[in-house]
Each structure stands twice: as C-alpha cells, then as structure tokens.
Amino acid sequence: MSSQQGRYLSGKSYHPSTQANQRKVWEAEQAAAAQASRERERQQMLKAERARFEASAVERGVDVSEIHARDSVSFMYKPPPGFFRDRDAEEKADRERKQEDPRLLTWKDKFPEIRGAPTATGEVKQMDLRVNMLGKVLRGVQCTKCHAWGHKATERECPMRDVLVQADIDRRDREDPLHTMNVAGDTAAASGIIIKEDIVIRGGGDSTHENQRLLPPDPNEDAPAAVVDEDDEAFVRSLTPDERRALLKSLKKKDRKRKRDRPHRKHRHRSRSRSPSHDSAGRRPSKR
C-alpha cells in the first residue's frame, strides 16, 4: 500500500490509526483491566469469608455447614459488596471538586451544624435556607486564616486572630525596609556582585601599610611665615650684593615664564564697522 493510500485511509472513521479509534481501544483495555481487578478482589473477599467461617466453626465447635446455613440470610442485613468503597470514592471526588472550586459549596457544606437540621419541606433551595439558631448568624464569608466560614480574619470570632500566619509574615517582610535591604544584599552576593574587601576607616587596603600610618603633627606646619622663612632669610643675608641681584633677576625671569606659560583666555574684539560715508582716514567727505 502506497503512502497516498495510507493517508487516504487514515482519514476514514473506521481506520484503526485514527485518534478516536485509538482512544476507544485504550478505553476498552482500561475497562478490561478494571474488570480483572474486580475479579481478583472478589476472589480475595471469598477466600477471606471462607477463612472466617472456618475459624468461627472451630471456635464454636460446630460444623462449617451450620455456619453457612446460619449466615445464608445475613446478606439482607448487610450492604452490598463494594458499597462503602464506591461511596468513599464518590465523597472524595466531591470534596476535591469543591475544594478546587469553592462556588460549588452549599450552605450545609460550609456550616456542619445545619447539615442535619430539619426543614419544612425536606429539600429546600440554597436561597431559601437562612438559619439563625441559638443567636448565631450564618454569613457567607470565609476566613483567610482558619479557613472557616461565617467570619473574617480581623473579627474576634476567629480563633487565629492574633496568630501570625505565613501571609502575615510575608506582608511584614515586604513592609520592613531592613529586610528588603538584606534580601537585596543576598541577591547581589548570589549574583556575584559583591565588594571583595570591606571599606575601613583609613580608606581601604592594608591598615599596616606605610601610607596608612598616623604621623605626628609638624610643629612648623601651622607656624607663622616669619618662623618658616628663617632659613631662607639667613641664606639671602649670606649672599653678596651681586649674587642677590642675580638671584632676583633669576626669580623674575621664572615668574615671567610662568605667567607666559599660563593659558590665557582669548578675548574676542569687536571690529568697528566703518560707515561708507567716511573715508579710509576716518574723515567725512565734504559736501560740494
């Protein structure tokens, strides 16, 4: 069969490779497996019942046939096999379904105290069910702490009103600036953005280094100029008049050079535009 024929047949409803037919095969296999499981459970229950009959006959000292005859009508007073198992499975599925969607909860599910309360007509609608027994008002609100119905988390009826739950702890951490800064620091450390060395008072680095030592104050640092320049004055006095003139000339030359090398601000001079009524010498021509 060619590929074109295979594609043609796979589009037919009767072809086994279609998704619908594969699903039917899978459902049939699951049903057969469930039937085999039920048969095994029945065999186990039958073996357990026979063992119970034999133990009861040995305990009473009678024949097993008498125990069978006595219990032959006991099925009328017992639920059918698998009744509790199916009921428990249905109740569990119903609880899970209502837990996922709280809108499916009825007033009897929300308030267990009225689950068996008598009503006027037996079955009533949810909108008609308004109970106020023993002064207790039933309200359709759910507490976020204890998850009970009838009150809120901030009301005094809640037994966990003053108890910190995880939601309160998270809100407190969000509103605490110190916790926010600590979390930011931990995040920076986890991402690799962190200072390798702590900044110290001396400016960082090794505190035992030479440039980090504290030196004693210099007595001449804050002294007046007369005290500081005593050595220079003594040196100038020791020079001859010619040496003094040469020293002064050298100092003036260095001062002029320093001023010349200093960058000056360029001033833009406005050029006066001469009127065409004036000549090159600036004289106004005479009228003839």
Q: Is residue 194 part of a domain?
A: no
Task: Out of 77, 95, 111, pick the residue that ends a domain.
Answer: 77
Residues 63, 42 within the same domain = yes
Q: What is the pTM of this model?
A: 0.33
DSSP reduced 3-state for 136: strand
Confirm whether 277 is domain-assigned: no
Report the number of distinct structural domains present in the chain: 2
Residue scoring higher pLDDT (227 or 41): 41
Residue 108 lies in a domain: yes
244 located within any domain: no
Q: List pLDDT tens digits, range 48-95.
A: 888 888 888 888 888 878 877 877 787 788 888 778 888 888 888 888
Structure confidence at residue 39 (pLDDT): 92
CB 99 within 8 A of CB 80: no
pLDDT of 220 > 70? The answer is: no
For residue 274, the SS3 value is: coil
What is the radius of gyration, based on Cα positions, of the chain? 53
Which range of residues forms the domain containing residue 151?
Answer: 83-119+127-161
Residue 132: CA count within 13 A, CB half-sphere: 2
Determine, yes or no, domain membership for 214: no
Dihedral sign, CA of 213, 214, 219, 224? positive
Q: What is the pLDDT of residues 230-267, one digit of tens each?
A: 677 788 788 888 888 888 888 898 888 888 887 655 55
91 and 157, same domain (yes or no): yes
Q: Quote the strand ranges of the chain, DSSP E.
A: 132-133, 136-137
pLDDT digits (tens, 9 = 90+) for 258-270: 888 876 555 555 5
In angstroms, the CA 150 to CA 137 distance is 8
